[in-house]
């Protein structure tokens, strides 16, 4: 079953840390892919960081990377900040408010952009906006990493993904499991080349795009 967003606070108030149980299940498989596709060191911009659990886990596991978590939802920032503070990590920046549909993301060029479980929890317009921003802000050769469930060739890849799609649309009619072919077409129109599609647990995919490196 794909990852329904079940978020609760770790403890009762005043601890602002939120907990999404799916992050504990998917973070190791995601990290395995990141270790393989990312260079040794760099600066990563995480889109839709949610609770902030992924940010601290990946930053701890990849200490040569500087991590910038971001969120479109201002209510999520306190949780992300609290996870960072509790981690004691020095390679995670304070969370930034960032809606990918903004014309200017207000951040410098980066080596990687990650968006886990974002594009199906948002209107379709979020996907081209994310790709546009990635094409603009990634350094040549930089990686755009997407994680989540996808349709392929217009079809769901598993019954659980079809059920999840129904559940998403009941939650918000503009949410939907996206078709990888459509995402790829939008990406390649912006110079982001599909490098890898990795099957992940629970019928999710890791989708890795790379911005074309500049020729000398
Ligand atoms: C299901 S949560 C995923 C959180 C986290 N990445 C994870 O995998 O647990 C989806 C997140 O996408 C964010 N989001 C939705 N639309 C967005 C947009 N236009 N720009 C940036 N983030 C957005 C939401 O605020 C939400 O936190």
The answer to whether residue 21 scores a pLDDT higher than 80 is yes
Segment 44-51 shows an average pLDDT of 98
Mean residue pLDDT across the chain: 95
pLDDT of residue 120: 98
Higher pLDDT, 212 or 36: 36
Model confidence at 13: pLDDT above 70 = no
Q: Is the preceding omega at residue 108 within 30 degrees of 0, hence cis? A: no
Q: Is pLDDT at 76 greater than 80 in this prediction?
A: yes
* Per-residue pLDDT, 14: 86
Give, for ligand 1, the residue of 27, 72, 118 to mutate: max count of ligand atoms closer than 8 Å to Cβ. 118
What is the residue with the minimal CA distance to atom 18 of ligand 1?
99
C-alpha 215 – ligand 1 centre gap (Å): 34
Query: What number does the ligand 1 atom closest to the CA of 20 have?
Result: 9
Residue 111 Cα to chain centre, angstroms: 14
pLDDT in tens, 97-146: 999 999 999 999 999 999 999 999 999 999 999 999 999 999 999 999 99
pLDDT band with cut points at 50, 70 and 90 for residue 213:
confident
The pLDDT tens digits of the residues spanning 152-203 come to 999 999 999 999 999 999 999 999 999 999 999 999 999 999 999 999 999 9
Q: What is the pLDDT of residue 193?
A: 98
% the chain with pLDDT above 90: 91
CA distances from 86 to 52, 79, 89, 90, 204 (A): 11, 11, 8, 11, 29
**Segments making up each domain of the chain, as ranges:** 24-211
Q: Is 47 in the pocket of ligand 1 (CB under 6 A)?
A: yes
* 10: pLDDT strictly greater than 60: no
pTM of the model: 0.95
Interior/surface letters 52-76, b for 16+ CB within 10 angstroms, e for the rest: bbbbbbbbeebeebbbbbbbbeeeb
Mutating to test ligand 1, I would choose from 34, 122, 148 the residue with most ligand atoms within 8 A of its C-beta, which is 122
70 C-alpha to center of ligand 1: Å?
Answer: 9
User: Which CATH number is associated with domain 24-211?
Assistant: 3.40.50.150
Of ligand 1's listed atoms, the one at least distance from the Cα of 22 is 9
Residue with tokens 């982001």: 192
Split at pLDDT 50, 70, 90, the class of 4 is confident
């Amino acid at each position: 079953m794909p990852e329904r967003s079940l978020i609760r606070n770790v403890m009762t108030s005043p601890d602002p840390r939120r907990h999404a149980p799916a992050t504990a299940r998917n973070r190791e498989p995601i990290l395995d892919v990141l270790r393989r596709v990312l260079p040794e060191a760099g600066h990563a911009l995480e889109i839709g960081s949610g609770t902030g659990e992924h940010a601290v886990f990946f930053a701890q596991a990849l200490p040569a990377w500087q991590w910038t978590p971001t969120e479109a939802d201002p209510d999520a920032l306190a949780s992300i900040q609290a996870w960072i503070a509790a981690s004691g990590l020095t390679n995670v920046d304070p969370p930034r408010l960032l809606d990918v549909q903004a014309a200017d993301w207000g951040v410098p060029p980066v080596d990687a952009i990650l968006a886990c479980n974002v594009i199906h929890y948002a209107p379709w317009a979020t996907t081209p906006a994310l790709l546009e921003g990635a094409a603009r802000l990634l350094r040549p050769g930089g990686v755009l990493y997407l994680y989540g469930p996808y349709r392929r060739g217009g079809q769901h890849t598993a019954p659980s993904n079809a059920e999840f799609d129904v559940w998403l649309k009941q939650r918000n009619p503009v949410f939907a499991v996206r078709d990888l072919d459509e995402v790829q077409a939008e990406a390649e129109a912006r110079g982001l080349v599909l490098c890898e599609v990795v099957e992940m647990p629970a019928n999710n995919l890791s989708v890795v795009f790379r911005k074309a490196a500049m020729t000398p």
